[in-house]
């Protein structure tokens, strides 16, 4: 399951670019970029596996008798129901080849990395930045170019900093690899800020120290962490049985504000269905005990009372 969920979200990002006729720059050394493109989902005109009723909410004249303070608050069923962003995709159907061929896509797999003088210990990072800058310059995506027909360059980097990104002479992660990762994110942010471009980068966070990840988060605009339940005690938790992990909003872009927006106490969870990737708000049910647990506690209590009464 390593990287499965992050890779699925990256495919959504790429597929949205294909549908919107954006230029795409795809970089990966874990998987073939051409293979990743072939796996992006096809666009559809309805929500797959939808279990929601989009009918107009019924207005009730009856007032709440239990708690009058909640009388005028929106119910959970109607909250955010009619907000649709982007397009719907079916993960079981690949994007038509004709749509992919009509899209401007640049593939980078690191096979032609040029060694030279660089601030990076790993030449792959320097080469990738150089190729992205060349793409932005040649296709006039810089803000200073002021092109007559404006479009967006979508930059997708899959599993940056994984073992397959390391030079052949290094078989393990080192301090230099963490520094390269931090510096790459910092340089990428500066490059994207000066162009009509947006970048999504997935990182195998379990391979890096928390301090290195915090520096990457500081250099990014938006940071999301996917915490899978697989292999943890949460995997057998009944309250979380229908979900696959936590969807954690670590950092959000501080747009028109002095500080980054904090999601507050709301927690999100995700699940990967057959046809779509779902993100829900976490609503834990009441902690009702099973009948068997109640009987055990009742028997143990009677046992204790019997022991006390025997003295």
Q: Give domain status of residue 254, yes or no.
A: yes
The tally of domains found in the chain comes to 1
Rounded to whole angstroms, the Cα distance separating 182 from 208 reads 11
Give the model confidence (pLDDT) of 152-168 as tens digits: 999 999 999 998 888 76
The dihedral over CA atoms of 101, 107, 111, 116, expressed in degrees to the nearest 10, equals 140
**pLDDT value for 262:** 67
Distance CA 158, CA 181 (A): 13
For residue 193, being part of any structural domain is answered with yes
Give the DSSP per-residue string, 254-280: -TTSSS----TT--EEEEE-SS-EEEE
SS3 249: strand
3-state secondary structure of 72: coil
Residue 67: per-residue pLDDT: 52
Is pLDDT at 142 greater than 80 in this prediction?
Answer: yes
Whole-model pTM over 0.85: no
Q: Is residue 64, in this structure, part of any structural domain at all?
A: no
Backbone angles phi, psi at 193, to 5 degrees: -65, -25
Q: Does a structural domain hold residue 125?
A: yes
* Start-end of H helices in 67-209: 97-101, 123-138, 175-193
3-state secondary structure 27-62: EECCCCHHHHHHCCEEEECCCCCCCCCCCCCCCCCC
Least confident piece of the model among 79-83, 121-125, 169-173, 305-309: 305-309
User: Span 304-311, mean pLDDT?
Assistant: 46
Distances (CA, A) of 162 to 4, 141, 208, 311: 14, 29, 10, 67
Instruction: Break the chain down into helix, strand, coil percent, rounded to 5.
Output: 35, 20, 45
Residue 59 domain-assigned (yes or no): no
Are 219 and 250 within 8 A, CB to CB?
A: no
- Taking each helix axis from N to C end, the angle separating 175-193 and 123-138, rounded to the nearest 10 degrees, works out to 10
Number of separate helices (H) and strands (E) present in the chain: 7, 10
Instruction: Confirm whether 185 is domain-assigned.
Output: yes
pLDDT the model gives residue 41:
97
| Number of Cβ atoms within 10 Å of the Cβ of 29 | 23
Question: How much is the pLDDT for 310?
Answer: 44
Dig out the tokens for 119 from the structure: 């601030």
Decide if 170 is inside a domain.
yes
| Residue 148 confidence (pLDDT) above 50 | yes
Of the listed ranges 49-63, 90-104, 256-270, 273-287, the one predicted with least confidence: 49-63
Q: Which helix (H) or strand (E) holds 107?
A: strand 105-108
Residue 61 lies in a domain: no
CATH number of the domain that residue 252 is part of: 3.40.50.300
Which domain covers residue 74, as residue numbers? 4-52+69-309
Tell the residue number behind the tokens 């967006």, with chain if given. Answer: 152
Helical ranges in the chain per DSSP H: 4-19, 33-38, 97-101, 123-138, 175-193, 210-218, 291-309
**Are the C-beta atoms of residues 261 and 254 closer than 8 Å to each other?**
yes
Long-range own/partner contacts, residues 230-237 (CB < 8 A, 24 or more apart): 230/1
């Amino acid at each position: 399951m390593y990287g499965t969920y992050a890779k699925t979200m990256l495919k959504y990002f790429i597929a949205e670019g294909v549908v919107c006729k954006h230029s795409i720059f795809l970089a990966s050394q874990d998987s073939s970029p051409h293979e990743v493109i072939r796996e992006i989902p096809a666009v559809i005109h309805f929500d797959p596996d939808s279990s929601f009723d989009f009918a107009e909410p019924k207005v009730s004249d009856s007032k709440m008798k239990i708690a009058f303070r909640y009388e005028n608050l929106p119910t959970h069923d109607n909250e955010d129901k009619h907000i649709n962003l982007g397009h719907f995709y079916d993960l079981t159907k690949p994007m038509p080849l004709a749509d992919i061929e009509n899209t401007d896509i640049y593939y980078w797999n690191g096979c032609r990395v040029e060694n030279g003088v660089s601030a990076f210990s790993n030449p792959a990072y320097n080469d990738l930045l150089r190729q992205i800058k060349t793409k932005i310059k040649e296709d006039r995506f810089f803000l200073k170019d002021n092109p007559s027909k404006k479009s967006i360059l979508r930059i997708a980097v899959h599993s940056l900093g994984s073992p397959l990104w390391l030079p052949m002479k290094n078989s393990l992660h080192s301090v230099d690899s963490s520094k390269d990762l931090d510096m790459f994110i910092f340089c990428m942010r500066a490059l994207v800020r000066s162009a009509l471009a947006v970048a999504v980068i997935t990182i195998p966070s379990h391979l890096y120290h928390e301090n290195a990840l915090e520096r990457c988060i500081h250099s990014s605009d938006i940071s999301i962490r996917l915490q899978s339940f697989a292999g943890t005690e949460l995997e057998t938790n009944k309250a979380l049985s229908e979900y696959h992990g936590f969807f954690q909003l670590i950092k959000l872009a501080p747009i028109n504000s002095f500080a980054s927006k904090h999601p507050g106490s709301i927690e999100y969870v995700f699940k990967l269905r057959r046809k779509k990737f779902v993100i829900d708000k976490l609503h834990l049910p009441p902690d009702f005990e099973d009948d068997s647990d109640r009987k055990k506690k009742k028997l143990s209590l009677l046992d204790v009372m019997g022991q006390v009464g025997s003295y």
